[in-house]
Amino acid sequence: MEDYTLPFWIYLCVLTVFIGGAMKKILASHLSTAPTLVAWLGATVLVERLWAFCLPAVLLLVLLGLACCIYLAARTRPPPAALPAHGKAVFITGCDSGFGNAAAKRLDALGFEVFATVLDLSGDGARELQRICSPRLTLLQVDITQPQQVQQALLDTKAKLGLRGLWGLVNNAGICVNIGDAELSLMSNFRGCMEVNFFGTVNVTKTFLPLLRQAKGRLITISSPAGDQPFPCLAAYGASKAALNLFINTLRHELELWGVRVSTILPGSYKTGQSSNHAYWEQQHKQLLQNLSPALLEDYGEDYVNETKELFQSHAKQANPDFSPVIDTIVQALLAPQPQVRYFAGPGLGLVYFIHNYCPFSISNHFLKKLFVKKKLMPRALRKQSGFNLNLNLHNNNNEEKLK
Protein backbone atom coordinates (compact mmCIF):
# COMPACT_ATOMS: atom_id res chain seq x y z
CA MET A 1 0.00 0.00 0.00
CA GLU A 2 2.95 2.34 0.56
CA ASP A 3 3.67 2.15 -3.18
CA TYR A 4 0.66 4.27 -4.04
CA THR A 5 1.24 8.00 -4.47
CA LEU A 6 -0.73 10.89 -3.01
CA PRO A 7 -2.56 11.63 -6.32
CA PHE A 8 -3.87 8.07 -6.31
CA TRP A 9 -5.37 8.43 -2.84
CA ILE A 10 -6.89 11.78 -3.79
CA TYR A 11 -8.40 10.14 -6.85
CA LEU A 12 -9.76 7.27 -4.76
CA CYS A 13 -11.32 9.66 -2.20
CA VAL A 14 -12.96 11.74 -4.93
CA LEU A 15 -14.32 8.59 -6.59
CA THR A 16 -15.69 7.38 -3.24
CA VAL A 17 -17.44 10.67 -2.49
CA PHE A 18 -18.89 10.91 -5.99
CA ILE A 19 -20.22 7.35 -6.10
CA GLY A 20 -21.52 7.55 -2.53
CA GLY A 21 -23.29 10.85 -3.16
CA ALA A 22 -24.83 9.60 -6.39
CA MET A 23 -26.01 6.41 -4.72
CA LYS A 24 -27.59 8.32 -1.83
CA LYS A 25 -29.35 10.78 -4.14
CA ILE A 26 -30.64 8.17 -6.55
CA LEU A 27 -31.90 5.70 -3.96
CA ALA A 28 -33.54 8.48 -1.94
CA SER A 29 -35.38 9.68 -5.05
CA HIS A 30 -37.20 6.35 -5.56
CA LEU A 31 -36.30 6.29 -9.22
CA SER A 32 -37.11 3.49 -11.61
CA THR A 33 -35.14 0.24 -11.87
CA ALA A 34 -32.79 1.25 -14.68
CA PRO A 35 -31.17 4.30 -12.99
CA THR A 36 -30.91 2.40 -9.71
CA LEU A 37 -29.11 -0.40 -11.57
CA VAL A 38 -26.71 2.15 -13.03
CA ALA A 39 -26.04 3.43 -9.53
CA TRP A 40 -25.20 -0.07 -8.30
CA LEU A 41 -22.90 -0.56 -11.29
CA GLY A 42 -21.10 2.62 -10.23
CA ALA A 43 -20.76 1.21 -6.75
CA THR A 44 -19.37 -1.99 -8.26
CA VAL A 45 -16.67 0.04 -10.02
CA LEU A 46 -15.71 1.55 -6.68
CA VAL A 47 -15.61 -1.89 -5.05
CA GLU A 48 -13.43 -3.17 -7.86
CA ARG A 49 -10.98 -0.32 -7.24
CA LEU A 50 -10.89 -1.03 -3.54
CA TRP A 51 -10.42 -4.74 -4.18
CA ALA A 52 -7.56 -4.20 -6.60
CA PHE A 53 -5.66 -1.59 -4.66
CA CYS A 54 -6.09 -1.47 -0.93
CA LEU A 55 -8.38 -3.94 0.85
CA PRO A 56 -7.81 -7.59 1.74
CA ALA A 57 -10.34 -9.90 0.12
CA VAL A 58 -11.79 -11.16 3.41
CA LEU A 59 -12.42 -7.65 4.75
CA LEU A 60 -13.97 -6.68 1.45
CA LEU A 61 -16.37 -9.62 1.57
CA VAL A 62 -17.37 -8.67 5.13
CA LEU A 63 -18.06 -5.09 4.08
CA LEU A 64 -20.09 -6.21 1.06
CA GLY A 65 -22.14 -8.62 3.17
CA LEU A 66 -22.83 -5.93 5.76
CA ALA A 67 -23.86 -3.44 3.08
CA CYS A 68 -26.23 -5.98 1.50
CA CYS A 69 -27.82 -6.80 4.86
CA ILE A 70 -28.42 -3.12 5.64
CA TYR A 71 -29.85 -2.49 2.18
CA LEU A 72 -32.17 -5.52 2.25
CA ALA A 73 -33.36 -4.65 5.75
CA ALA A 74 -34.21 -1.14 4.64
CA ARG A 75 -36.04 -2.39 1.52
CA THR A 76 -38.04 -5.13 3.26
CA ARG A 77 -39.05 -3.07 6.28
CA PRO A 78 -42.83 -2.54 6.09
CA PRO A 79 -43.79 1.12 5.59
CA PRO A 80 -45.32 2.86 8.61
CA ALA A 81 -49.10 2.87 8.77
CA ALA A 82 -50.78 5.79 7.05
CA LEU A 83 -52.41 8.49 9.13
CA PRO A 84 -56.23 8.45 9.38
CA ALA A 85 -58.13 10.72 7.00
CA HIS A 86 -61.16 11.17 9.25
CA GLY A 87 -61.47 14.66 10.71
CA LYS A 88 -58.80 16.16 8.46
CA ALA A 89 -59.65 19.11 6.16
CA VAL A 90 -57.98 19.72 2.78
CA PHE A 91 -58.21 22.77 0.50
CA ILE A 92 -57.63 22.05 -3.23
CA THR A 93 -57.38 24.62 -6.03
CA GLY A 94 -58.34 24.05 -9.67
CA CYS A 95 -61.02 21.36 -9.32
CA ASP A 96 -62.99 22.08 -12.51
CA SER A 97 -61.18 19.21 -14.24
CA GLY A 98 -57.95 17.21 -14.31
CA PHE A 99 -55.95 16.38 -11.21
CA GLY A 100 -57.95 18.71 -8.95
CA ASN A 101 -61.31 17.21 -9.86
CA ALA A 102 -60.03 13.63 -9.48
CA ALA A 103 -58.24 14.44 -6.21
CA ALA A 104 -61.37 16.03 -4.70
CA LYS A 105 -63.38 12.89 -5.44
CA ARG A 106 -60.71 10.53 -4.07
CA LEU A 107 -60.09 12.52 -0.89
CA ASP A 108 -63.82 12.85 -0.23
CA ALA A 109 -64.19 9.08 -0.63
CA LEU A 110 -61.38 8.55 1.90
CA GLY A 111 -63.20 10.62 4.51
CA PHE A 112 -61.46 14.00 4.24
CA GLU A 113 -63.41 17.23 4.59
CA VAL A 114 -62.68 18.76 1.17
CA PHE A 115 -62.79 22.42 0.15
CA ALA A 116 -62.63 22.40 -3.66
CA THR A 117 -62.23 25.59 -5.68
CA VAL A 118 -63.62 25.92 -9.20
CA LEU A 119 -63.74 28.76 -11.69
CA ASP A 120 -67.38 28.06 -12.54
CA LEU A 121 -69.89 26.75 -9.99
CA SER A 122 -72.30 25.91 -12.80
CA GLY A 123 -69.69 24.11 -14.93
CA ASP A 124 -69.58 20.39 -15.67
CA GLY A 125 -66.77 19.70 -13.20
CA ALA A 126 -68.53 21.46 -10.32
CA ARG A 127 -71.84 19.72 -11.02
CA GLU A 128 -70.08 16.35 -11.16
CA LEU A 129 -68.48 16.94 -7.75
CA GLN A 130 -71.84 17.97 -6.27
CA ARG A 131 -73.46 14.85 -7.66
CA ILE A 132 -70.81 12.30 -6.71
CA CYS A 133 -69.29 13.56 -3.47
CA SER A 134 -70.59 13.55 0.09
CA PRO A 135 -71.99 16.58 1.95
CA ARG A 136 -68.52 17.00 3.51
CA LEU A 137 -67.27 18.53 0.25
CA THR A 138 -67.61 22.32 -0.06
CA LEU A 139 -67.41 23.98 -3.48
CA LEU A 140 -65.94 27.48 -3.65
CA GLN A 141 -65.82 29.67 -6.74
CA VAL A 142 -62.30 31.09 -6.79
CA ASP A 143 -60.05 32.60 -9.42
CA ILE A 144 -56.67 32.42 -7.67
CA THR A 145 -55.44 35.51 -9.55
CA GLN A 146 -58.12 37.59 -7.74
CA PRO A 147 -57.01 38.40 -4.17
CA GLN A 148 -60.55 39.30 -3.06
CA GLN A 149 -61.86 35.87 -4.07
CA VAL A 150 -58.98 34.14 -2.28
CA GLN A 151 -59.70 36.13 0.89
CA GLN A 152 -63.40 35.24 0.68
CA ALA A 153 -62.45 31.56 0.30
CA LEU A 154 -60.39 31.86 3.48
CA LEU A 155 -63.36 33.34 5.38
CA ASP A 156 -65.71 30.61 4.09
CA THR A 157 -63.21 27.91 5.04
CA LYS A 158 -62.68 29.34 8.52
CA ALA A 159 -66.44 29.52 9.06
CA LYS A 160 -66.74 25.77 8.41
CA LEU A 161 -63.59 24.73 10.27
CA GLY A 162 -64.35 26.68 13.41
CA LEU A 163 -61.36 26.49 15.74
CA ARG A 164 -59.72 23.68 13.78
CA GLY A 165 -56.75 24.18 11.52
CA LEU A 166 -56.32 23.05 7.91
CA TRP A 167 -54.49 19.74 7.49
CA GLY A 168 -53.70 20.03 3.80
CA LEU A 169 -53.35 22.66 1.07
CA VAL A 170 -53.05 21.22 -2.44
CA ASN A 171 -51.85 23.85 -4.91
CA ASN A 172 -53.11 22.33 -8.13
CA ALA A 173 -54.47 25.22 -10.25
CA GLY A 174 -52.27 26.07 -13.22
CA ILE A 175 -52.28 26.88 -16.93
CA CYS A 176 -50.09 26.27 -19.95
CA VAL A 177 -50.78 28.70 -22.78
CA ASN A 178 -49.66 28.45 -26.40
CA ILE A 179 -46.27 26.78 -26.74
CA GLY A 180 -43.60 27.94 -29.14
CA ASP A 181 -40.08 29.30 -29.34
CA ALA A 182 -39.40 31.85 -26.59
CA GLU A 183 -38.90 34.63 -29.16
CA LEU A 184 -42.28 33.83 -30.70
CA SER A 185 -44.17 33.59 -27.41
CA LEU A 186 -46.26 36.66 -26.67
CA MET A 187 -45.57 38.64 -23.51
CA SER A 188 -49.19 37.96 -22.57
CA ASN A 189 -48.28 34.25 -22.48
CA PHE A 190 -45.44 34.88 -20.03
CA ARG A 191 -47.61 37.15 -17.87
CA GLY A 192 -50.56 34.74 -17.96
CA CYS A 193 -48.46 31.79 -16.80
CA MET A 194 -46.82 33.83 -14.06
CA GLU A 195 -50.13 35.24 -12.82
CA VAL A 196 -51.70 31.81 -12.33
CA ASN A 197 -48.82 29.39 -11.80
CA PHE A 198 -46.69 31.65 -9.62
CA PHE A 199 -48.39 34.77 -8.23
CA GLY A 200 -51.79 33.13 -7.80
CA THR A 201 -50.31 30.09 -6.07
CA VAL A 202 -48.09 32.25 -3.86
CA ASN A 203 -51.13 34.30 -2.81
CA VAL A 204 -53.20 31.20 -1.95
CA THR A 205 -50.30 29.69 -0.03
CA LYS A 206 -49.60 32.82 2.02
CA THR A 207 -53.31 33.28 2.72
CA PHE A 208 -53.84 29.75 4.07
CA LEU A 209 -50.51 29.24 5.84
CA PRO A 210 -51.80 30.36 9.27
CA LEU A 211 -54.39 27.54 9.13
CA LEU A 212 -51.72 25.04 8.03
CA ARG A 213 -49.38 26.11 10.82
CA GLN A 214 -52.18 25.74 13.34
CA ALA A 215 -52.73 22.11 12.32
CA LYS A 216 -49.03 21.36 11.61
CA GLY A 217 -50.32 20.10 8.30
CA ARG A 218 -49.14 19.47 4.76
CA LEU A 219 -48.41 21.85 1.88
CA ILE A 220 -48.52 20.00 -1.45
CA THR A 221 -47.83 21.67 -4.79
CA ILE A 222 -48.35 20.21 -8.25
CA SER A 223 -45.42 21.50 -10.30
CA SER A 224 -43.80 20.24 -13.50
CA PRO A 225 -40.48 18.84 -14.76
CA ALA A 226 -40.53 21.87 -17.10
CA GLY A 227 -39.67 23.96 -14.04
CA ASP A 228 -36.43 22.01 -13.56
CA GLN A 229 -35.40 21.30 -17.14
CA PRO A 230 -35.38 23.49 -20.28
CA PHE A 231 -37.98 21.73 -22.40
CA PRO A 232 -38.01 23.29 -25.89
CA CYS A 233 -41.02 25.51 -26.67
CA LEU A 234 -42.15 25.71 -23.03
CA ALA A 235 -40.28 28.84 -21.91
CA ALA A 236 -43.32 30.72 -20.53
CA TYR A 237 -44.75 27.72 -18.66
CA GLY A 238 -41.35 26.45 -17.50
CA ALA A 239 -40.25 29.85 -16.19
CA SER A 240 -43.39 30.15 -14.06
CA LYS A 241 -42.92 26.65 -12.63
CA ALA A 242 -39.23 27.28 -11.96
CA ALA A 243 -40.16 30.36 -9.91
CA LEU A 244 -42.79 28.31 -8.10
CA ASN A 245 -40.31 25.51 -7.33
CA LEU A 246 -37.87 27.94 -5.74
CA PHE A 247 -40.62 29.53 -3.65
CA ILE A 248 -41.86 26.15 -2.41
CA ASN A 249 -38.34 24.90 -1.65
CA THR A 250 -37.67 28.04 0.38
CA LEU A 251 -40.92 27.53 2.30
CA ARG A 252 -39.90 23.95 3.04
CA HIS A 253 -36.95 25.22 5.07
CA GLU A 254 -38.89 28.01 6.74
CA LEU A 255 -41.91 25.93 7.75
CA GLU A 256 -39.90 23.07 9.23
CA LEU A 257 -39.87 24.83 12.62
CA TRP A 258 -43.68 25.05 12.52
CA GLY A 259 -44.10 21.33 11.87
CA VAL A 260 -45.57 21.87 8.38
CA ARG A 261 -44.37 19.28 5.83
CA VAL A 262 -43.86 20.57 2.30
CA SER A 263 -43.95 18.30 -0.78
CA THR A 264 -43.72 18.93 -4.51
CA ILE A 265 -45.32 16.55 -7.01
CA LEU A 266 -43.85 16.36 -10.52
CA PRO A 267 -46.29 14.64 -12.89
CA GLY A 268 -45.46 13.14 -16.26
CA SER A 269 -47.53 13.80 -19.38
CA TYR A 270 -51.27 13.61 -18.66
CA LYS A 271 -54.41 14.76 -20.46
CA THR A 272 -55.35 17.62 -18.19
CA GLY A 273 -57.13 20.95 -18.63
CA GLN A 274 -57.02 22.24 -22.18
CA SER A 275 -54.16 19.99 -23.32
CA SER A 276 -56.43 17.81 -25.47
CA ASN A 277 -58.84 20.59 -26.49
CA HIS A 278 -58.21 21.01 -30.22
CA ALA A 279 -60.36 24.15 -30.54
CA TYR A 280 -58.52 25.86 -27.66
CA TRP A 281 -55.11 25.37 -29.22
CA GLU A 282 -56.35 26.44 -32.65
CA GLN A 283 -57.61 29.66 -31.09
CA GLN A 284 -54.27 30.18 -29.29
CA HIS A 285 -52.41 29.53 -32.54
CA LYS A 286 -54.57 32.01 -34.44
CA GLN A 287 -54.01 34.65 -31.76
CA LEU A 288 -50.25 34.08 -31.96
CA LEU A 289 -50.16 34.56 -35.74
CA GLN A 290 -52.27 37.72 -35.50
CA ASN A 291 -49.97 39.29 -32.90
CA LEU A 292 -46.55 38.38 -34.30
CA SER A 293 -44.69 41.17 -36.06
CA PRO A 294 -44.44 40.70 -39.86
CA ALA A 295 -40.63 40.67 -39.67
CA LEU A 296 -40.57 37.93 -37.02
CA LEU A 297 -43.12 35.84 -38.90
CA GLU A 298 -41.06 36.24 -42.06
CA ASP A 299 -37.88 35.07 -40.29
CA TYR A 300 -39.49 31.97 -38.77
CA GLY A 301 -42.18 31.20 -41.35
CA GLU A 302 -45.82 30.31 -40.83
CA ASP A 303 -45.06 26.67 -41.69
CA TYR A 304 -42.53 26.56 -38.82
CA VAL A 305 -45.14 27.88 -36.36
CA ASN A 306 -47.74 25.43 -37.72
CA GLU A 307 -45.37 22.51 -37.25
CA THR A 308 -44.87 23.42 -33.58
CA LYS A 309 -48.62 23.48 -33.01
CA GLU A 310 -49.12 20.12 -34.74
CA LEU A 311 -46.26 18.50 -32.84
CA PHE A 312 -47.68 19.66 -29.52
CA GLN A 313 -51.17 18.41 -30.42
CA SER A 314 -49.69 15.05 -31.39
CA HIS A 315 -47.83 14.92 -28.07
CA ALA A 316 -51.04 15.79 -26.18
CA LYS A 317 -52.94 12.95 -27.89
CA GLN A 318 -50.39 10.46 -26.57
CA ALA A 319 -50.65 11.77 -23.00
CA ASN A 320 -51.87 9.45 -20.25
CA PRO A 321 -55.61 9.79 -19.47
CA ASP A 322 -55.27 7.85 -16.18
CA PHE A 323 -54.63 10.30 -13.33
CA SER A 324 -54.31 7.63 -10.64
CA PRO A 325 -50.48 7.84 -10.25
CA VAL A 326 -50.77 11.54 -9.44
CA ILE A 327 -53.81 11.13 -7.17
CA ASP A 328 -52.16 8.25 -5.31
CA THR A 329 -49.15 10.48 -4.73
CA ILE A 330 -51.33 13.32 -3.37
CA VAL A 331 -52.91 10.87 -0.91
CA GLN A 332 -49.48 9.58 0.11
CA ALA A 333 -48.15 13.10 0.66
CA LEU A 334 -51.17 13.90 2.85
CA LEU A 335 -51.20 10.73 4.94
CA ALA A 336 -47.63 9.40 5.08
CA PRO A 337 -46.07 9.88 8.55
CA GLN A 338 -42.87 11.01 6.80
CA PRO A 339 -43.82 12.46 3.38
CA GLN A 340 -41.15 12.86 0.74
CA VAL A 341 -39.89 16.25 -0.35
CA ARG A 342 -40.40 15.36 -4.02
CA TYR A 343 -42.62 12.83 -5.75
CA PHE A 344 -42.23 11.69 -9.36
CA ALA A 345 -45.71 10.74 -10.60
CA GLY A 346 -45.56 8.97 -13.92
CA PRO A 347 -43.52 6.41 -15.88
CA GLY A 348 -40.15 7.44 -17.26
CA LEU A 349 -39.64 10.48 -15.03
CA GLY A 350 -36.90 8.76 -13.06
CA LEU A 351 -34.90 8.23 -16.24
CA VAL A 352 -35.49 11.85 -17.36
CA TYR A 353 -34.14 13.22 -14.07
CA PHE A 354 -31.28 10.74 -13.98
CA ILE A 355 -30.09 11.88 -17.42
CA HIS A 356 -30.57 15.53 -16.46
CA ASN A 357 -28.67 15.22 -13.16
CA TYR A 358 -25.87 12.80 -14.00
CA CYS A 359 -25.18 12.83 -17.74
CA PRO A 360 -23.07 15.41 -19.63
CA PHE A 361 -24.94 18.50 -20.77
CA SER A 362 -24.68 17.55 -24.45
CA ILE A 363 -26.46 14.23 -23.78
CA SER A 364 -29.23 15.69 -21.59
CA ASN A 365 -29.79 18.55 -24.04
CA HIS A 366 -30.11 16.16 -26.98
CA PHE A 367 -32.42 13.90 -24.94
CA LEU A 368 -34.82 16.77 -24.16
CA LYS A 369 -35.03 17.77 -27.82
CA LYS A 370 -35.90 14.22 -28.83
CA LEU A 371 -38.27 13.66 -25.93
CA PHE A 372 -40.78 16.47 -26.41
CA VAL A 373 -40.96 18.48 -29.65
CA LYS A 374 -39.13 16.72 -32.48
CA LYS A 375 -38.97 19.56 -35.00
CA LYS A 376 -37.96 18.85 -38.58
CA LEU A 377 -38.26 22.31 -40.10
CA MET A 378 -35.73 25.07 -39.59
CA PRO A 379 -36.86 28.69 -39.41
CA ARG A 380 -37.44 30.12 -42.89
CA ALA A 381 -34.51 32.57 -42.69
CA LEU A 382 -32.10 29.74 -41.88
CA ARG A 383 -33.49 27.65 -44.74
CA LYS A 384 -32.91 30.53 -47.13
CA GLN A 385 -29.42 31.03 -45.76
CA SER A 386 -28.65 27.32 -46.17
CA GLY A 387 -29.95 27.40 -49.74
CA PHE A 388 -27.89 30.50 -50.52
CA ASN A 389 -24.73 28.91 -49.11
CA LEU A 390 -25.39 25.72 -51.10
CA ASN A 391 -25.84 27.69 -54.34
CA LEU A 392 -22.72 29.72 -53.55
CA ASN A 393 -20.67 26.56 -53.02
CA LEU A 394 -21.95 25.06 -56.27
CA HIS A 395 -21.11 28.28 -58.11
CA ASN A 396 -17.57 28.35 -56.68
CA ASN A 397 -17.03 24.70 -57.59
CA ASN A 398 -18.14 25.36 -61.19
CA ASN A 399 -15.73 28.32 -61.44
CA GLU A 400 -12.87 26.23 -60.15
CA GLU A 401 -13.58 23.53 -62.73
CA LYS A 402 -13.56 26.13 -65.55
CA LEU A 403 -10.18 27.51 -64.39
CA LYS A 404 -8.74 24.02 -64.56
pLDDT digits (tens, 9 = 90+) for 199-222: 999 999 999 999 999 999 999 999
Q: What is the count of structural domains for the chain?
A: 2
Question: Does 26 share its domain with 148?
Answer: no
Question: In the prediction, which pLDDT does 141 show?
Answer: 97
Q: Which of 53, 76, 99 is the last residue of a domain?
A: 76
Question: Does 292 share its domain with 328?
Answer: yes
pLDDT for 295-324, tens place per residue?
998 999 899 888 888 887 777 777 788 899
Active site residue 237: yes
d(CA 327, CA 334): 11
Instruction: Give the burial string for 64-84 (b: 16+ CB within 10 Å, else e).
Output: eeeeeeeeeeeeeeeeeeeee
Question: Does 63 share its domain with 108?
Answer: no
In a domain, 395, yes or no: no
Question: Does 161 share its domain with 291?
Answer: yes
Question: Does 243 share its domain with 312?
Answer: yes
Query: Across-strand partners of 170?
Result: 92, 220
d(CA 57, CA 19): 21
> Given 237, 300, 304, 343, which residue is catalytic?
237
Residue 208 CB contacts under 8 Å (≥ 6 apart), including other chains: 91, 154, 157, 166, 169
Question: Does 130 share its domain with 205?
Answer: yes
Question: Does 69 share its domain with 94?
Answer: no
Query: Across-strand partners of 118?
Result: 141
Question: Does 359 share its domain with 267?
Answer: yes
**pTM passes above 0.75:** yes
Percent of the chain with pLDDT over 70: 74
Instruction: Indicate the range of 39-48, 60-69, 74-83, 272-281 predicted with least confidence.
Output: 39-48
Residue 160 confidence class, pLDDT cut points 50, 70, 90:
very high
- Residue 58 vs residues 43, 65, 112, 167, 226: alpha-carbon distances, Å: 18, 11, 56, 53, 48
Its domain, for residue 63, covers: 6-76
Mean pLDDT (the chain) is 82
pLDDT for 247-298, tens place per residue?
999 999 999 999 999 999 999 888 877 666 777 778 888 888 888 889 998 9
Average pLDDT over residues 26-53: 56
Question: Does 123 share its domain with 249?
Answer: yes
